Amino acid sequence: MAADGGGGVDWESLAEATSGAIGSLVSTTVLYPLDTCKTKFQAELQTHQGAQKYRNLSDVFWEAIRKKQFLSLYQGLNTKNIQSFVSSFFYFYGYSYFKRLYLEKSGAKSIGTTANLLVAAAAGACTVIVTQPLDTAASRMQTSVFGKSKGLRETLAEGTWMEAFDGLGISIILTCNPSIQYTAFDQFKQRILHRQRRKNAGSAEDNSGVALSAFSAFLLGAVSKSIATVLTYPLIRCKVMIQAADPDEDDDDEPGRPSKSRIPKTMLGALHAIWSKEGIPGFFKGLNAQILKTVLSSALLLMIKEKISKFTWVSLLALRRYLFVSQKRIKSATV
């Protein structure tokens, strides 16, 4: 896939960004109920007496069923889809662009692990700054009482503009998560493709068409995301707690339920609250749910991206030709 900067547009990066964004949109929608249950479970902080509303992930799901609020498991879906699409588009565009820029400037034929991490982190940091308000709003909607979630505009209007960037510092630190994930995925992918090309070297098969199978892409996506999630999970939980809906808005229909503790809005405050009330296990509360959701989501995203990237590239090439032909017609008509 050769890059063509015709018209000042980086078409290769645009193809990568588009296919990645579409994959993210599909995976987010399919797994959203699981994401809502996971987020509400992570956001709850145990009281000093050990009381808690949700003992495990299934308690969140059954609460929605018991209250006849199953559709509330989708509260905030539109905002999450917008955030997911924009985030993935910016990330894949930035990652592809910075990666190719590095190769051009360095003259190297391939990018090493260290450079790959730096490129991925740079792309992630740029993405986080743009999409943080959407991420915060989606988390508030998901952690609101079932059936009482507000729309995007109302959610963001509840606090100051600075509060829309709650958790930004942690989000920037967590850019190492996709950095680890995609670096691991790329390295595993290159090794597999290299082995396939070596097998085909003695035959008449064309190595230019060698690509990952859907199953291989899914498996590599799951493994790479698992590694990244385990290493960064304490910060992931802190971010969810910081962005969660105000506990004062909790459901007052059940007086027997333990009330939520107010969560500090700083990383150090959240870490101290977890340590003092839940101990070391608290730093990994909901880890299994996080791995299940993120691994499935990332694996689906990468699988879909691998399968539609060629189609996306061909479609954008067709669009480029159409635009350039139209421009030539306009110029000839004005002469």
201 domain-assigned? no
Does 91 reside within a domain? yes
User: Which pLDDT does position 86 carry in this prediction?
Assistant: 85
pLDDT tens readout for residues 142-191 = 998 888 888 888 888 887 788 889 889 999 998 888 677 777 888 888 88
Which pair of structure tokens corresponds to residue 96? Answer: 């592809």
Q: Which two tokens stand for residue 196?
A: 């396939």
pLDDT digits (tens, 9 = 90+) for 73-114: 999 999 998 988 888 788 878 888 888 888 888 888 778 777
289 within a domain of the structure (yes/no): yes
Whether 183 maps to a domain, the answer reads yes
CA separation for the pair 322, 145 (Å, rounded): 50
Domain CATH number, residue 33: 1.50.40.10
C-alpha span between 209 and 277 (Å, rounded): 55
Burial track 214-225 (b if 16+ CB lie within 10 A, e otherwise): eebbbbbbbebb
Question: Which stretches in the chain have pLDDT values below 70?
Answer: 1-17, 20, 47-51, 178, 202-210, 247-264, 298, 308-335
Residue positions counted in the chain: 335
- What pLDDT is attached to residue 256? 47
Per-residue three-class SS string for 230-261: HHHHHHHHHHHHHHCCCHHHCCCCCCCCCCCC
In a domain, 208, yes or no: no
CB 306 within 8 A of CB 214: yes
Residue 98 is part of which domain span?
A: 18-189+213-247+266-306
- What is the SS3 assignment for 161? coil
* 206 within some domain: no
Cα 88 vs. chain centroid, distance in angstroms? 7
Domain count along the chain: 1
C-alpha torsion sign, points 184, 187, 190, 191:
negative
Give the C-alpha distances (Å, rounded to integers) separating 106 from 9, 64, 101, 114, 234: 22, 54, 8, 14, 36
Handedness of CA 93, 96, 102, 107 (dihedral sign): negative
Give the pLDDT of residue 307. 72
